[in-house]
A and B are shown apart, each in its own frame.
Chain A
Amino acid sequence: MNKYTPVIGLEVHVELKTASKMFCGCSANYFGKKPNAHTCPVCLGLPGALPVANKQAINWCIMIALALNCEINTFSKFDRKNYFYPDLPKGYQISQYDLPFGHDGWIDLSKPVILASDKGARPESKKDPGQARMAKKRIRIRRVHMEEDTGKLTHMSHPELVSGSSSNEMLNQVQHDNKKKVSLIDYNRSGVPLVEIVTEPDFDSATDVVEYLQKLRQIVRYLGVSNADMEKGDMRLEPNISLSKMSLRGDEVDETISQERSPRFARDDNNLPNYKVEVKNINSFRFVEKAINFELKRQEKLLDDGKTPPQETRGWNEKKQETVSQRIKEEANDYRYFPEPDLPPITHTNEQISTLSSAMPELPDKIFSRFLRKFSLNEYDVEILTRDQEAAEYFEQAVKLGEDKNISPKQIANHIINKKPDLSATSPSDVISQIAKASQTEDISEDELTQIITKVLKENEKAVQDYKNGKETVIMFLVGQVMRQIGKKIDAQKVRSLIITNIK
């Protein structure tokens, strides 16, 4: 039995795929572009420049919040988060502090709840009582807010500069008085809209975190608001991890409550551990999993030795396969938040929110249960078919076309899942004709078939015995034998059931 329970929360930054940046008209598509080509006075933080909020981005942020079952603040505003960093051109980031667009939502994981480790993540909710019987683990979403991305720093040393293909004047300049390392800043990413999604510390394992992330990625892709391409940094992940001591009754015995967990936000999670380790800026689900598992082991060892792990920010080092300390929390920034005076507060009517809500596509969880219900498929099939929106839509179209030809949704699902046709190159009607062709059978009389089956069963007594002893897979061998004897293409399902009747 474990002495400790992991307490894990997650912050995720999702980059939106709006055409323009959050507060100016520059293109938000920075990937692979010439450095500082997509910049203007606003996103360079030049004197006198003022932000103008991107309405599309705000709407998309609210749609994400709605998809995560959040309450929406109809009166909201932007705030300045003041801190110095070379890639932050204004010396502050425009973000949201006390009135985020969305708050108090949730995502349900598909795993059943293990009661002993269920810390406040209740499966039932007054907002959605129907979910209770499904007994899924619920991850609460604390807030969903809108902010802007920073520029990008590249640290280079002299040899890299020489080998670099750039004819850039500045680089050449640097080469001349070389012999030291340089940091270059690309502001193309500065001001690109980011949505930050913060959970409550409701996770107790890395696998749950990964499942949550997969669901979140699926949702933003369904909404069509982000490509959520990990390679391009569209999703950046920051787990915060600690271990809580367990008593025999399964309650936490940690007396010390966290003071700094969330300054200026009163919370009721009183029995959280008195420290928290944040791992910053991870851009892969696999790395998050590894980082969390590494941290849990590292912290366990410290606690076993009677030490409290220091409150700190760490980074994941993929080469060393370990987390490394970056900043001890004692030197943490005081961000001096205050309302952004350059942007008036943002108000939405309830009608505007419901208009946004009705403009949203059907979300994965809904499609999932609808497919289960409507097409009588198993969860495994539906999970694969609804992984992305295109596949789900494709499947539904094929089902519609299949109705006329008496092809069942199950047949279509099997075909798509097993044969893996290239959905972008094959139309749903092509798929239907493929299935139709494959299941075309030649007629054979039942008598003739029974004769052959009897013969085959006699010739393969050992297989029959195996089957009777419970080795059910052997049936396919027998089907194969029968088919070979017939020499014609006939319905394998029919053969199979006839064999089973005959064995009995």
Chain B
Amino acid sequence: MIHTLSLSDARDGLNSKDFSSVDLAKACFEQIKSHDDKLNAILTLSEKEALHQAEEADKRIANGEESPLLGIPIALKDLFLTKGIRTTAGSNVLENYIAQYDGTAVQRLKEAGAVILGKTNLDAWAHGSSGENSDFGPTKNPYNLEHIPGGSSSGSSVSVTTDMAFAASGTDTGGSIRLPASFCNVVGLKPTYGRVSRYGVIAMSSSLDSIGHFTKTVRDNAMYLQVTAGRDPKDSTTPNKDVPDYQKKLGKGVKGLKIGVPKEYFIEGLDPNIRIQIEDALKFYEKQGAEIIDVSLPHTEYAIEVYYIVQTAEVSSNLARYDGIRYGYERSHFGDEAKRRIMLGTYVLSAGYYDAYYKKAMKVRTLLIKDFQEVFKTIDVLITPASPSMPWKLGERTDDPLKMYLSDIFTVHANLVGVPGLSVPAGFKGGLPIGMQILGPHFSEDLLYQVAQAYEMEHPWWKKKPDLGNST
């Protein structure tokens, strides 16, 4: 049962030689082989390479080396390039594409001694909120196989909640980490834009893409970020800013902190069960000595529209390189959603429409940034639901792209503004998980961890595991 440990407990166990990294990796592969047939979280396993990495990690541990992820088995969303290992982006276009190089985040994870088990399922090109847009079949929510796990980092989220991996990398362009984290009862971080290098991660929308990860606990999450964060000379959008000790503020509580509650997030369409859970959490924080303050982000209602202009514009350009000339299959292999976004993006950038759409969207984006700057003058963090609705049933929204797009209504905001967002497990309703989103100013990840962990200590929802039944 060592695979059910938290990442930090597994690290302790490795240090005290209770088990080896090879033991952990084998336990994870066992779990994957037992349950993934029904979940479809993993697209490619790299078992041989992983066991080799685990052996190397064990040697480093034997030499007394300590590092947050040394010997820890993890999974990667199949958008992260891995040298010599198939990287598909969840699309038939790259069905047989073997990556030529490791991205910066992958390189840092490898150097830190993490053991890469394999690549996880996703909505093709990260286009989607449910995981159903994968060309390799949808991933299922382990808490109820008839429901979606959230997307686009569906497989990463599921692999962590089902103990197939201790942590998993993901990407978040409009909520693709926070949404599946909230639907799968795991901790999901979308870091500040530029905090983690995008080099070597297949681009969806370059000005919005954030490279984050899923873990079982808040501390685990801080440990992971410690490895991936920092300036990368290969990514011009990563600033030369110090990487703090992300665990330093853990356990400090929330006394005296000012928590803002933006009224625009507690709207009519919000599922009442989610509202109850978040309001409970706010009451908890108040009891712990935090000040709860009602605030307003007046331009919130435009965020989703701005997002679907900026994002599709960049998607249409970023997908242009997949022409089948140098690698991959030609463009007829794109799925409906990618085609839809290419057409939308091409339209908003066209001569005569550029000013009305793209340029205007960029102006509103500036207003959204100002909203946040204004609100963070008076409060420390914002707390909102991560999703307006509970995980829906498979197929429920696939015929209505607009309804699917609206699933991101609480998450796109942070991407447009560039601030970090953390989704933390906040309870259950009808056996399905609910997530709470904590947003902070740029580069305040340590503060988000501090606030999240105060709640997690008293509400260890992460321990409520899905019932996976008998192994297949």
Contacts and interface: CB of A to CB of B under 8 A. Distances in A.
Interface of A: 41, 44-53, 80, 82, 84, 86, 89-92, 185, 263-264, 334, 336-338, 341-344
Contacts of B207: 341
Interface string B337-376: 0000000001001110010001000000000000000000
A50 B320 contact: no
7 contacts: A41-B101, A46-B327, A48-B203, A50-B234, A84-B320, A263-B351, A344-B237
B99 A47 contact: yes
B448 to A, nearest CB: 25
Contacts of B317: 80, 82, 91-92, 336, 338
Interface in B274-314: 313-314
A49 B199 contact: yes
A49 B237 CA distance: 13
B88 to A, nearest CB: 10
Nearest to A334: B351
Contact of B320 (A52, A86, A90, A264): A90
Contact of B200 (A48, A185, A263, A341): A48
Contacts of A82: 316-317, 320, 349
Given A48-B200, A341-B207, 15 more contacts: A41-B100, A41-B101, A47-B99, A48-B81, A48-B199, A50-B198, A51-B236, A84-B323, A86-B325, A334-B350, A334-B351, A336-B317, A336-B351, A338-B358, A343-B237
Contacts of B201: 48
Interface residues of B toward A: which range?
35 or more
Given A84-B323, A90-B321, A92-B317, A48 B202 contact: yes
Contact of B326 (A44, A51, A264): A44
A45 B350 contact: no
B103 interface: yes
Nearest to A340: B206
B235 A50 contact: yes
A342 B100 contact: no
Contacts of B354: 336-338
Nearest to A42: B234
A264 B200 contact: no
Nearest to A82: B317
A90 B321 CA distance: 4
Interface string B73-112: 0000000010000010100001001011101000000000
B460 interface: no
B225 to A, nearest CB: 20
A44 B314 CA distance: 19
A92 B233 contact: no
Contacts of B358: 338
Contacts of B205: 341
A473 to B, nearest CB: 66
Contacts of B325: 86, 185
A336 B314 CA distance: 11
A76 to B, nearest CB: 14
Contact of B323 (A48, A50, A91, A338): A91
A336 to B, nearest CB: 4
Contacts of A90: 320-321
B435 to A, nearest CB: 28
Contacts of B314: 338, 341
Q: Chain A's interface: helix, strand, loop or mixed, by majority? A: loop
Interface in B17-35: none
Q: 3 nearest interchain CB pairs?
A: A91-B320, A341-B207, A336-B349
Contacts of B81: 47-48
Contacts of A41: 100-101, 200
B108 to A, nearest CB: 15
Contacts of B321: 45, 47, 89-91
A80 B100 CA distance: 25
Contacts of B327: 46
The interface centre, meaning the residue of A47, A80, A336 with most chain B CB atoms within 10 A of its CB, is A47
A51 B237 CA distance: 10
Contacts of A89: 321, 326
Nearest to A41: B101
Contacts of A49: 199-200
A52 B346 CA distance: 25
A53 B236 contact: yes
The interface centre, meaning the residue of B207, B323, B327 with most chain A CB atoms within 10 A of its CB, is B323
Contacts of B351: 263-264, 334, 336
Given A91-B323, A185-B325, A342 B349 contact: no
Given A263-B351, A342-B237, A48 B103 contact: yes
Given A334-B351, A336-B346, A92 B234 contact: no
B87 A47 contact: yes
A185 B97 CA distance: 20
A342 B206 contact: yes
Contacts of A51: 236
Contacts of B350: 334, 336
The interface centre, meaning the residue of A53, A338, A344 with most chain B CB atoms within 10 A of its CB, is A338
A342 B238 CA distance: 10
A156 B378 CA distance: 68
Interface in B32-65: none
A343 B238 CA distance: 10
Contacts of A92: 317, 320
A86 B324 CA distance: 10
A115 B354 CA distance: 42
Given A41-B101, A90-B320, A338 B236 contact: no
B320 A47 contact: no
Contacts of B101: 41, 46
A86 B237 CA distance: 28
Interface in B196-244: 198-203, 205-207, 233-237
A52 B233 contact: yes
A51 B313 CA distance: 19
B90 to A, nearest CB: 13
